[in-house]
Structure 1
């Protein structure tokens, strides 16, 4: 089997249904499977979608296991040579998946690939390609300098701003909203780190792929629609999970760095978390 598409869902039935229609069209010429891991949705997903998509495999959990753990759960029953981890609030064009698989075949150094993501208005989403959250990259982003110099290789490195959005290039970090990876490599790195409940797991996996000598490729010539936040509720839990994941990443990967290095990052993360919580009433 060529490809396994794994989608984690949580209270996003309508988005998931539209996503599945697009994925099925994109897989018409591919030997593959679609696996949905539902984290205890209460919106009718379990009651309504299996009958509409009889060829899709569904796993229904009795609790919200988080994104990383649910992805690993789906991967354990999958069979494809490649695994695509896909958000439920995405829409794929028909040639997207075949183009990604073709790229792997002519780039043996590719460990994982991501694509150019656009929002519902066609605006480019900068998180399609990212650099690692180093102190300097975090500083420039935190204080708004990245927005002022969006094409700078140094100042805009958090979003790899110097790389054209319509070209293919190796990058540090791919988005977990669309990440296709070789099965053998995913198994070699032991999958997603389940310490990350939600958010940050894609940064962690991207780094571990690089550490094994493989490249993460951003494919700017392939575009998908990502209804950013369509399956996300912005509340205190979101801020806690998101910035908690960033703090976990620093503790895991920068533990050998000087104390001041880690303190700078953790102080910035704490500041952004506080700011996010304070602005919640205005969203």
Structure 2
């Protein structure tokens, strides 16, 4: 199975090298890697990849995560059977692509795969011992969240399972499902989502077309996640974007949960909670 990787960068010079090294050490290496930069202040760290085989590099203004991923997909979609959307601060274990491809070949009803995301401290260059995500779920009142985020890894949720959504830091999709569910010829992610919740929206679209979304705990991926679990460390502007996108998510996929999303947006936007 031909698998391609799309990585969107934004001032990612501190982590991209480790990410690319993890891809180069895969037991089943990717057939192509598309790097799309969305407004890095200094893009010189991307220059070495321009001359490397099977790499494409696209430099853009700060167009947002969704639009940048769409550009990457447009560059590689014709040659792919599977597509890995990968954050530059995510480092897959050596057999991650092999496991994902084998599972897709054996399970033709599966449209998307995620792995067991483990916390990683980029400053110290070592794992945190905490979980980052074992799938994305919705609470009873409507909040979407990464299950087990910030919890000590005690091997909880160590069985394969269908899940509502997968964290976009490591999301493998069957390419024909992306073509089937694309909003337009070149848009697999909704460009209205500048940042945050775009992965959930895509997964909901896939599920509406009867494709399964599966969490595979044997796929291990270390993920830095910037501000980690400390909400106070997340800039206010980004909190507003995240809250706005939760409202947008429920407009795209109508649900009574939009009432909670509107209350959250109001609290974040005007009360600065």
In the alignment of these two chains, the number of paired residues is: 250
Q: Which residue of 2 aligns with 1:281?
A: none
More strand by share: 2
- 2:266 is matched with 270
Q: Which sections of structure 1, spanning at least 5 residues, go unmatched?
A: 151-158, 279-283
The equivalent residue for 1:199 is 196
Task: Please tell me whether the aligned partners of residues 8 and 87 of structure 2 are also in contact (alpha carbons under 8 angstroms).
Answer: yes
Is contact 1:192-1:205 (8 Å) kept?
Answer: yes
Unaligned runs of 5+ in 2: 121-127, 183-187
Deviation at 1:237, TM superposition (A): 2.3
Partner residue, 2:135: 129
How far apart, in 2, do the equivalents of 1:130 and 1:47 lie? 31
Please say if residues 17 and 49 of structure 1, whose CA atoms lie closer than 8 Å, have aligned partners that are also in contact: no
**Structure with greater helix percent:** 1
Q: Distance in 2 between matches of 1:103 and 1:206?
A: 18
The 8 Å contact of residues 89 and 230 in structure 1, kept in 2 or not, is answered as no
- Name the Cα RMSD after superposition: 2.8
In structure 2, the partner of 1:56 is 55
Is the 1:116–1:165 contact (alpha carbons within 8 Å) kept by the matching residues of 2?
no
Mapped to 2, the partners of 1:20 and 1:47 lie a distance apart of 11
Whole-angstrom CA distance in 2 between matches of 1:104 and 1:244: 34
Residue 138 (1) aligns with residue 143 (2): yes
**Contact conserved, 2:66 with 2:198, CA < 8 A, in 1?**
yes
Structure 1 residues 74 and 51, CA gap change in structure 2 (3 angstroms): closer
2:119 corresponding residue in structure 1: 119
Q: Which whole-Å deviations, capped at 9, do the CAs of 1:185-234 have from their partners, x for residues lacking one?
A: 10111111111111111110000110001110011121110011179x83
CA distance in 1, matches of 2:270, 2:25: 43
